[in-house]
Amino acid sequence: MHAYDTPAWIEKPALAIGDIKMLMKEEAFSFDTRRDQIIEEREKTMKEILAKVPEGQRSAFEVLMKAAQKSGYWSEDHTYYCDFYIGSLGRWIVMEFGRRFAEAGCIDDPEDIHFLHPHEIRKAAIPMGRINLRPYVEPRKKAWLENLTIEPKPFYGDISQAQLVLRSDPTLYVSTQVPIVREELKADLYGAAAAPGLAEGVARVIMNADKLSELKPGEILVAPGTSAAWTVSFSIISGLITDGGGALSHPVIMAREYGIPCIAGCLDATTKIKTGQKVKVDGNQGVVYILGK
């Protein structure tokens, strides 16, 4: 999402095909078919709430309520217009160095620029074309290709110290928390935060946004976490479970916007749940039940 070594769909339009295929699995894009209904429900709810607010505070409360409604898509938009934009500018600069090095014969492929350190790029750019950069590129590229074949196991360190670390920094605590365990619920997974509602369905474990096209309408998405790149899936899933996240994390906020039950911050949902298993997401209690095949 923010890496200079990863092209975006605007550079390689074919990258968006997976997302488009996912949305086309339904006869109609669900948000379009429900838009008028959602607006009607929202306006009705606003009137009911405003009627309960003292008249002297009603005007200010209405302004705050409308601002809260906008915060969801403003949050998503800032990722596109700010974060992605900065990333795209950085990639353009880096790739221009790659293009020039390849043209000068220093490397074989412009993409090989990503296997060089900044100080190596700076030094080689001055006497452009006079330094063979392949001895730097080749061993790093080989190691990278080997690492792509390895699925690393999640590592959390000493989880008993997590709350102590999180409380030391308020900016961490709002977006990353540890599960709130209530043994009396006898759940298989406990979350740190949730979006309300109940959903039962078939689980689909996806570790990377590139695999979202595997999702089928009505499935429950199980993922390490979500970001703006994952939002396209919210229109077809019936529930969401994530390893990470807290009260103000992306999965919880967006699930509330879409009216989807979500349990975030389960720590090991992607290891305990397998694709194809039936699961129950209880966003009211903040727990997950694995119901089996």
Pairing of β 239-242 and β 262-264: parallel
Q: What number of other Cβ atoms are within 10 A of residue 12's Cβ?
A: 9
CA 276 to chain CA centroid, Å, is 22
Mean pLDDT estimate for the chain: 88
CA distances from 144 to 4, 40, 139, 150, 200 (A): 16, 52, 9, 10, 39
Q: What number of other Cβ atoms are within 10 A of residue 15's Cβ?
A: 14
Within 105-247, residue ranges assigned H as helices are 118-125, 134-147, 162-167, 170-173
Q: How many helices (H) and strands (E) does the chain have?
A: 10, 8
**What's the whole-number mean pLDDT along residues 46-57?**
94
Q: Which residues pair with 202 in a beta bridge?
A: 278
The more confidently predicted of residues 256 and 9 is 256
Interior CA angle at 62 toward 60 and 68, to 5°? Answer: 105
* SS3 of residue 174 by DSSP: coil
Residue 146 pLDDT exceeds 90? yes
Q: What number of other Cβ atoms are within 10 A of residue 270's Cβ?
A: 20
The more confidently predicted of residues 91 and 79 is 91
Task: Name the pLDDT band for 278 (thresholds 50, 70, 90).
Answer: very high
Q: What is the dihedral of CA 235, 240, 243, 245, to 10 degrees?
A: 70
Does this model's pTM top 0.75? no
Cα of first residue to Cα of last residue in the chain, in angstroms, is 34
pLDDT at 20: 81
- In the chain, the amino acid numbered 148 is L
Residue 203 pLDDT exceeds 80? yes
Q: Which conformational region is residue 7 in: left (phi greater than 0), alpha (psi within -120 to 50 degrees), or beta? A: beta
CA distance 58 to 50: 6
Positive or negative, the CA dihedral 9, 11, 14, 15 is negative
Tell whether domain 161-292 is in CATH 3.30.830.10.
no
**What's the whole-number mean pLDDT along residues 176-186?**
89
CA distance 189 to 65: 33
DSSP state of 80: I
Domain regions of the chain by residue span: 13-147, 161-292
- In the chain, the amino acid numbered 154 is P
Residue 116 pLDDT exceeds 80? yes
**What's the whole-number mean pLDDT along residues 201-208?**
95
Which residue shows structure tokens 């607006």?
Answer: 39
CA distance 92 to 7: 10
71-90 residue pLDDT tens:
877 877 877 788 778 888 88
Residue 235 pLDDT exceeds 80? yes
The more confidently predicted of residues 25 and 24 is 24
